[in-house]
Amino acid sequence: MRIDLTGRTALVTGSTQGIGRAIAAALADAGARVAINGRRPDTVASVISEMQAQNPDRDLVAAAGDVTDQGGADAVLAATGDVDILVNNLGIFGATPALEITDDVWRRYFDVNVLAAVRLIRATLPGMTARGWGRVLDIASDSAVVIPAEMIHYGMSKTALLAVSRGFAKEAAGTGVTVNSVLAGPTHTGGVEDFVYELVDPKLPWDEAQREFMRLHRPQSLLQRLIEPEEIANMVVYLASPLASATTGAAVRVDGGYIDSIVP
């Protein structure tokens, strides 16, 4: 399949590292103009320089700002311009015993992982529907369905994100705009490496630590390894393309078979 996103502008939140950076790179390689987002302007500028050094044809724009508050979101949208493809990738995670999760932590996870996405959808969906084309993609997680005992606050936020995606898909019904969520499985990023070493022997070499983590904490995985960020990005690019015009209101899995269900 040849995917051509030339003429489309994409905003990928939290795109200076990890899954977000891989998604931004893949969208740019497909021809989209991509806004790179992070809280610090210097970090955003550095990442853009690195990404353009890898492929000078990438059309990238700096969109620094904290989308977890209204002022930051407004600044990001002003730097981006009209958004055709919105990828709500920003998220936080971490292990905390269930009975030790405070009210403030519950609120923070909801604010960052759910409300930031809602804020940006609310701001960009009207323009997409007026133009008759658009894509909203919320990066969820297998944890939305298989709630992890060590971070139920994170699982809660990703479950809520599935509801947000489905609800806004109904709002966009019949407009040419699709809204979907992507259920990403356990993925290999720098942050996940730190998380893995919180749960297994930190003295283990990475390959052994990864296998031990999957054996002890993610035994349902049929892939039996962590997913690479580029594998998530491949699905996002497809869903962002005209080829996925009949897919909306869906929770699409890129989970390595982790979720033990035959129904998406």
What does the alpha-carbon distance between residue 164 and residue 173 come to, in Å, rounded to a whole number?
14
Cβ atoms 160, 114 nearer than 8 A? yes
Strand partners, 137: 87, 180
The residues that are catalytic are 154
Cβ atoms 56, 73 nearer than 8 A? no
Under DSSP, is residue 33 helix (H, G, I), strand (E, B) or coil?
Answer: strand
**258 to 11, 53, 242: CA distances (angstroms):** 28, 35, 28
What does the alpha-carbon distance between residue 194 and residue 256 come to, in Å, rounded to a whole number?
21
